Amino acid sequence: KRITFSGIQPTGVPHLGNYLGAITNWVSLQNNKSSELVLYSIVDLHALTIQKDAKMLQKSKIEMTIILMACGIDPKKCLIFEQSKVSAHSELSWILNCITPIGWLSRMTQWKTKFQEQKNIRSIEDIDISIGLDLGLFAYPVLQAADILLYKSTHVPVGDDQVQHLELTRDIAEKFNKFYKKNVFPLPQTILVPAKRILSLKDPSKKMSKSSPFEYSRINLTDSPEEISQKIKRATTDSQKGILYSPDTRPGISNLITIYSSFTGLTIEQVVNKYKNSDSKTFKDSVTEIVVQYLQPIQKEIERLKKEEGYVKSVLEDGANKANEIAKRNLEEVYKVIGLRN
């Protein structure tokens, strides 16, 4: 039985990283005939670790659903729902908290990067958790494990930044199964796409991120052609001649090559061959052209769906009802296994 689960936080407008690293994969997986169940969640409980503005959260949720649907997520093929509408996520998370050693969580790198950004800390080595690390930000990988395991998911499409959390999920599942001597949870597989990680346009040592305070570091799926052009023009590259793919020595230009290759379907080699003698300005103009062209139909569909808010809300409601049915059943099994509610 193949069950696919993934989530995205309503912390702002999705960017090219979310799109190329996760959403494109979501679209192709919903069409996979061998998948019995496909669930995509707007993980609003996770968003609370970063975004605490109630109005913004409310707005982002609908916006995110509209954008996902405009990108090709089809409610006839999968369930789209808000995480907080299925309370079993929080309940299972608590149960898993009780078997997750703090040491496992301290090894995770995502909360460190996010905390570092929140507090403007220069280097990860300088992190001091006593200066206001919220428990939620530290423990969110356990909630993520609960999201996945709640549906007994077998396949999880995510970007490269989440690979470590998927390993943790498998460790937690294995520990639970062993401790309670019952194979309740399958060990879920990570599904990555070739464009695993899209980097920040401003600082290519970091990933492109919704919550970065620097608007110029990312291209949002709703950006106008002018905004896209300005952002790509200002993207950090180096002063070396020619276009060459070398993520370690030329991360900025290599990131643009990855973006160009992903949107055209050309391989990295084909892109490099095409532009090897060009200067970075010419190449940046071509990247802009491709991105603008690619996003145009998606943006048109976003505009159309914005006028159908009632329908979008009904999609979320239907998704939550169906997700709740499955979640309640599986959670009941977990409660029985651990000796509660018997």
- Output 13 or 334, the one with its CB closest to ligand AQP: 13
Kind of pairing between the strands at 35-42 and 2-8: parallel
Q: Is 162 exposed, middle or buried (0-12, 13-18, 19+ CB in 10 A)?
A: buried
- Output 208 or 232, the one with its CB closest to ligand AQP: 208
- Output 195 or 334, the one with its CB closest to ligand AQP: 195
Q: Could you tell me what percentage of the chain is helix, strand and coil, using 3-state DSSP and rounding each to the nearest 5?
A: 60, 10, 35
Query: What separation in angstroms does the CA of 49 have from each of 41, 124, 342?
Result: 16, 19, 34
55 is catalytic: no
Which residues, 197 to 216, sit near ligand AQP by CB under 6 A?
197-198, 207-211
Choose the stretch contacting ligand AQP; rule: CB under 6 A; options: 71-79, 127-135, 154-162, 275-283. 154-162
CB of 214 to ligand AQP, least distance (A): 12
Which residue, judged by CB position, is nearest to ligand AQP in the bound state? 21
154's tokens: 């077998």
Q: Which of 112, 152, 202, 207 is catalytic?
A: 207
196 is catalytic: no
Q: What string marks each residue from 26 to 55 as x (binds ligand AQP by CB under 6 A) or -?
A: ------------------------x-----
| Nearest in space to 286 (alpha carbons), one of 302, 263, 320, 305 | 263
Residue 159 contacts ligand AQP per CB under 6 A = yes
Q: In what order do the strands lie in the sheet with 35-42?
A: 79-82, 35-42, 2-8, 155-157, 189-191
Select the residue interacting with ligand AQP from 162, 222, 261, 330 (CB under 6 A): 162
Largest CA distance in the chain: 71
For residue 79, report the phi and psi dihedrals to the nearest 5 degrees. Answer: -100, 130
Kindly give the interhelix angle for 135-150 and 163-179, rounded to the nearest 10 degrees.
70
Q: Which of 114, 206, 274, 322 is catalytic?
A: 114
- Output 21 or 319, the one with its CB closest to ligand AQP: 21
Select the residue interacting with ligand AQP from 3, 5, 13, 17 (CB under 6 A): 17
Select the residue interacting with ligand AQP from 9, 84, 93, 237 (CB under 6 A): 9
* CA distance linking residue 135 with residue 140, whole number of Å: 8
Residue 158 contacts ligand AQP per CB under 6 A = yes
274 is catalytic: no
Chain centroid to CA 207: how far? 12
203's tokens: 């600082």
Query: What separation in angstroms does the CA of 162 have from each of 143, 144, 145, 198?
Result: 13, 10, 11, 13
* CA distance linking residue 338 with residue 342, whole number of Å: 9
CA angle 186, 191, 196 (to 5 degrees): 150
CB of 93 to ligand AQP, least distance (A): 16
Choose the stretch contacting ligand AQP; rule: CB under 6 A; options: 30-38, 158-166, 178-186, 321-329. 158-166
Residue 188 contacts ligand AQP per CB under 6 A = no
CB of 28 to ligand AQP, least distance (A): 14
Select the residue interacting with ligand AQP from 4, 11, 30, 330 (CB under 6 A): 11
| Nearest in space to 5 (alpha carbons), one of 326, 340, 328, 260 | 326
126's tokens: 């300088």
Choose the stretch contacting ligand AQP; rule: CB under 6 A; options: 1-9, 55-63, 93-101, 330-338. 1-9
Binding residues vs ligand AQP (CB under 6 A): 7-9, 11, 17-18, 21-22, 50, 158-159, 161-162, 197-198, 207-211
The catalytic site residues sit at: 114, 207, 210
